[in-house]
Amino acid sequence: MGPRESPEPAFRLREVRQERAGKFLLDGLTLDLPRGGFTALIGPSGAGKTSLLRLLNRLDDPVSGTVEFLGQAITEVPIRALRRRVGFVFQAPVMFAGTVRANLGVAQRLGDAAGPLAEREISRLLELVELDPSFADRIAADLSGGEKQRVALARALVTQPEVLLLDEPTAALDPELADRLVHMLARLRETTGLTMIVVTHRLREARVAASSIVMLEAGRVVEAGEAAQVMQAPRQERTREFLTAGEDH
């Protein structure tokens, strides 16, 4: 637990329901997501992990229930400001046209800041995601999957968010690259003090980097708590089963 940990949760969800095409994705979910720290959302596919993540910067709104961001109803926060304070990194990184510099520039231009992104800031962001500053001139579309994911991450950091949401950031990577990305995320969290909320289906990642863990299944919270406790002494039988079955991942 970092020194920035505070009792006020980053997000407070109450009785949240979400549905698509008549099917419940989140089924009366109630949960506090801690501020500062690395929260891993785990659970089998179809548990509602991504559906939950998408509510936190209002890419979607729930059909019922409430979501609060830092004690304020999330719908009261101006939408563009919210999205710049709560960054989102997608499972499949989308690169915009042009160089890595241009990609970071898009995030800068969408804000209210005057002028282009300073070269020094570009180098700093690339260093944060552990890419060489020379990457600024590379064509983003030509990068490897792992590099693209890092650029997407750096791009999300341009807005100086307080929270970073990551939807299975390692899903498209081979195990070794996935490991490196997760370690990088853990270091990034340490240096920036960001609140990170990461959907993952790889338990290893949760074990390596998470300070707290939320286990979801069928749109509900099975168990939530400090990472060490959930991993080593899960209170719920269902969590225990999932963790045991997941050992082969």
Partner 1 sequence: MAAHPMDIAWLDLMVAAALILVAVALSAYQRLGLEKQILLGALRATVQLIAVGYLLVWLFTTDRWWIVLAVLALMVVVATITAARRQGKTARDRVTVLPIAGFAILAGAALTLVYVTTVIVHVQPWYSPRYLIPLFGMIVANAMNAAALALERLQSEMESRRGEVEALLALGATPGQAAAEPMRKATVAAMIPAVNALAVVGIVSLPGMMTGQILAGTDPTLAVRYQLVVMFMLTAANAITAALAVALYRRTFFTPAAQLRVRVAV
Measured torsion, CA atoms of residues 234, 239, 243, 249, in degrees rounded to the nearest 10: -150
Burial class (CB in 10 A: 0-12, 13-18, 19+), 232: exposed
Contact 39, 196 (CB under 8 A): yes
Q: Which of 185, 215 has the CB closer to partner 1?
A: 185
Task: Assess 57 for contact with partner 1 (CB under 8 A).
Answer: yes
- Neighbour-count burial for 121-147, b at 16+ CB within 10 Å, e otherwise: ebbebbebbebeeebbebebeebebbb
Sign of the torsion formed by the C-alpha atoms of 135, 141, 143 and 146: positive
Task: Assess 98 for contact with partner 1 (CB under 8 A).
Answer: no
Smallest Cα–Cα separation from 206: which of 10, 1, 41?
41
Stretch in the footprint of partner 1 (CB under 8 A) among 26-34, 58-66, 130-138, 194-202: 58-66
CA-based max dimension of the chain: 55
Task: Assess 58 for contact with partner 1 (CB under 8 A).
Answer: yes
Task: Assess 17 for contact with partner 1 (CB under 8 A).
Answer: no
Smallest gap from Cβ 129 to partner 1, in A, equals 16
Task: Assess 110 for contact with partner 1 (CB under 8 A).
Answer: yes
Query: Which of 26, 40, 100, 107 forms a contact with partner 1 (CB under 8 A)?
Result: 107
Query: Residue 87 and residue 192: Cα distance in Å, rounded?
Result: 14
Stretch in the footprint of partner 1 (CB under 8 A) among 1-9, 107-115, 117-125, 201-209: 107-115
Interface of this chain with partner 1, residues 214 to 233, rule: CB under 8 A: none
Query: Residue 152 and residue 223: Cα distance in Å, rounded?
Result: 30
Q: Binding mask 135-174 vs partner 1 (x if CB under 8 A, - otherwise)?
A: -----------------x--xx-xx---------------
Query: Which of 111, 116, 175, 193 forms a contact with partner 1 (CB under 8 A)?
Result: 111
Smallest Cα–Cα separation from 160: which of 128, 197, 134?
128
Interface of this chain with partner 1, residues 189 to 208, rule: CB under 8 A: none
Site residues, partner 1 (CB under 8 A): 20, 57-61, 75, 79-81, 83-84, 87-88, 90, 92, 94, 96, 106-107, 110-111, 152, 155-156, 158-159
